[in-house]
């Protein structure tokens, strides 16, 4: 009986754990998301990371606009976030920062351009 309980607990910890991440997309012109709410997005089981990516683009008017996104991600997506953004010629990105983490709510919005550590 004890072995069955132990195996059930291990299965729950290893296979039954789904990550909760913050989901947001903001820029200089958008309303900032609330930072005092728990993460509301339950990630799909194969998404093992919460991601934050922040970048700056240059508009045709010469204005610089800062953007930031939080979302669920896989490890392969996490390793390619900034390289894809910087390579996208339509975005005209000047700089990019990324952070991926694997704890519930670790990609909380701290402010535009502030990446959680």
pLDDT on residue 99 = 94
How far is the C-alpha of 9 from the C-alpha of 72, rounded, in Å? 25
In a domain, residue 113? The reply is no
pLDDT on residue 19 = 93
In a domain, residue 111? The reply is no
- The closest of 59, 45, 66 to 114, measured between CA atoms, is 66
In a domain, residue 69? The reply is yes
Domain that holds residue 52: 19-101
pLDDT on residue 6 = 32
* HEC per residue, 25-56: EEECCCCCCCCCCCCCEECCCCCCEEEEEEEE
How far is the C-alpha of 13 from the C-alpha of 16, rounded, in Å? 6
pLDDT on residue 114 = 79
- The closest of 73, 67, 58 to 115, measured between CA atoms, is 67
Total number of domains in the chain: 1
How far is the C-alpha of 17 from the C-alpha of 45, rounded, in Å? 7
In a domain, residue 95? The reply is yes
Using DSSP's 3-state secondary structure scheme, residue 10 falls into: helix
In a domain, residue 33? The reply is yes
| Per-residue tens of pLDDT for the chain, all 117 residues | 333 233 333 333 444 568 999 999 999 887 677 666 777 779 999 999 999 999 999 888 988 899 999 999 999 999 899 999 999 888 888 899 999 999 999 999 888 877 777
């Amino acid at each position: 009986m004890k072995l069955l309980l132990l195996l059930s607990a291990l299965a729950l910890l290893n296979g039954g754990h789904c990550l909760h991440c913050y989901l947001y997309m903001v820029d200089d012109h958008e309303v900032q998301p609330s930072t005092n709410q728990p993460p509301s997005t339950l990630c799909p089981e194969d998404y093992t990371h919460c991601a934050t990516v922040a970048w700056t683009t240059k508009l045709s008017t010469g204005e610089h606009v800062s953007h930031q996104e939080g979302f669920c991600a896989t490890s392969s997506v996490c390793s390619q976030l900034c390289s894809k953004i910087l390579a996208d010629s339509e975005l005209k990105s000047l700089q990019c920062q990324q952070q991926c983490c694997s704890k519930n709510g670790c990609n909380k919005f701290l402010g535009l351009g502030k990446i959680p550590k």
